[in-house]
Amino acid sequence: MKRALDPYQPIDPDFLDIIDELIGRSGTINFFESGNDINDFKGEIKGYVRTYEGQFLVLNANRRIRLDKIITILGKVGPAYERYNHFSNVCFSCFDEGQF
């Protein structure tokens, strides 16, 4: 059996309520594509589905995005926001690389 390199992470069930409220609306979804690559998609939210690979947001044009990868959805915080926010909290100036 092949082991997933990026296993699905559980999400807060309240996020499904947020998606339910957004069904039929259009806007931008920001998400992690692979690794730390960030992508966005503009489209209409159709709903969500559960598969053996995890739960996915279903958009128009048959586009699916894993729920645990969503950073923001139509301006609302998604399950991956904390991971995204971590990058902005890293203190790059704290590393002494001999410049002082």
pLDDT tens for 12-50 read: 999 999 999 999 999 999 999 988 899 999 999 999 999
Sheet containing strand 38-51, edge to edge, reads 64-66, 54-59, 38-51, 26-32, 70-73, 76-77
Residue 79 makes CB contacts below 8 A (sequence gap 6+) with 9, 11, 12, 15, 67, 68, 69, 70
Domains of the chain: 23-92 (2.30.30)
> What tokens appear for 31 in the block?
């998400």
Report the predicted TM-score, pTM, of the whole model to 2 decimal places: 0.82
User: Could you report the per-residue pLDDT of 44-97, keeping only the tens digit for each?
Assistant: 999 999 999 999 999 998 899 999 999 999 999 999 999 888 877 666 556 555
